[in-house]
Amino acid sequence: AQSVTQLGSHVSVSEGALVLLRCNYSSSVPPYLFWYVQYPNQGLQLLLKYTSAATLVKGINGFEAEFKKSETSFHLTKPSAHMSDAAEYFCAVSDLDGGATNKLIFGTGTLLAVQP
Amino acid sequence: EAQVTQNPRYLITVTGKKLTVTCSQNMNHEYMSWYRQDPGLGLRQIYYSMNVEVTDKGDVPEGYKVSRKEKRNFPLILESPSPNQTSLYFCASSFGGRGELFFGEGSRLTVL
């Protein structure tokens, strides 16, 4: 069965610094992978998704993620953090084993704090 | 505007008092789903629906019911709420075939 592990429940960076949020997945089939962002008191919004095309995926707000099959990773990065990036970030894998093709398996989330 | 709308956004209730959280989407999506979000556990799927009159259990269905009588609506029913159902609930929808999920803004439920 598919699963997702996010390393680090809390990450703090300085404004202008590199953002790196880690995600490792487990999947018995070629995965579809997603990063979602949740701002306070809001729903989840898609940042980017990997669907077996280019391994480097660019998303909104300057974020990107690289699919590395050999490392089973899909880490999220942004070269320069902005105060507005403070939010919770969720990595997710599309579950095929269960038959419900739109089910997403979510990681436990990483809360990103950006210090001025 | 394309959106998923949930109501109520906030609710405090007491143990055993039946309640319904409504969900409506205006994107003509076949697939709809309910998740609950709890600290340290991420989001866990409660129920999902592949289309009208087609529903199935997710990972944590106990204590919940759903129905899908119309394509746009997917209400979540708590027949006899208990304190362990205090949580943040999200409805989501998508087209078929591993598509992107669109989420509502969430419904924060407290059961006393």
pLDDT in tens, A97-111: 555 567 888 999 999
Choose among A32, A44, A108: nearest Cβ to B90. Answer: A44
Higher-confidence residue of A2 and B8: namely: B8
pLDDT of residue B65: 97
Choose among A102, A107, A108: nearest Cβ to B101. Answer: A102
Chain B residues with beta carbon closer than 8 angstroms to that of A45:
103
Lowest average pLDDT, out of A69-73, B6-10, B88-92, goes to A69-73
Is residue A79's pLDDT more than 90? yes
Please report, rounded to a whole number, the percentage of residues in chain A having pLDDT higher than 90: 70
Contact A108 B4 (CB under 8 A): no
Average pLDDT over residues B45-63: 93
pLDDT of residue B106: 95
Higher-confidence residue of A42 and A20: namely: A20
Average pLDDT over residues B2-23: 95
Average pLDDT over residues B79-94: 96
Lowest average pLDDT, out of A97-111, B4-18, B51-65, goes to A97-111
Task: Identify the CA nearest to B33 among candidates B85, B99, B87, B80.
Answer: B99
pLDDT of residue A54: 85
Position B60 confidence tier, pLDDT thresholds 50, 70, 90? very high
- CB < 8 Å from A in window 44-63 of B: 44-45, 48, 50, 56, 58
Structure tokens at A99: 């038959």
Please report, rounded to a whole number, the percentage of residues in chain A having pLDDT higher than 70: 94
Average pLDDT over residues B79-84: 96
Q: Touching check for B100 and chain A: CB below 8 Å?
A: yes
Alpha carbon distance A36, A65 (integer Å): 12
Choose among A41, A49, A101: nearest Cβ to B97. Answer: A101
Structure tokens at A79: 């070269």
Top mean pLDDT of A24-28, A30-34, B35-39 is at B35-39
Alpha carbon distance A83, B38 (integer Å): 25
* Residues whose CB is less than 8 angstroms from the CB of residue B35 and which lie 6 or more positions away in sequence, other chains included: A106, B43, B44, B45, B46, B58, B89, B90, B91, B92
Mean pLDDT of chain A: 90
Residue A17, min C-alpha distance to chain B (Å): 26
- Sole residue written with tokens 């095309």: A53
Which one of A4, A44, A49 makes the best mutation probe of the B interface by having the most chain B beta carbons within 10 Å? A44
Average pLDDT over residues A31-38: 92
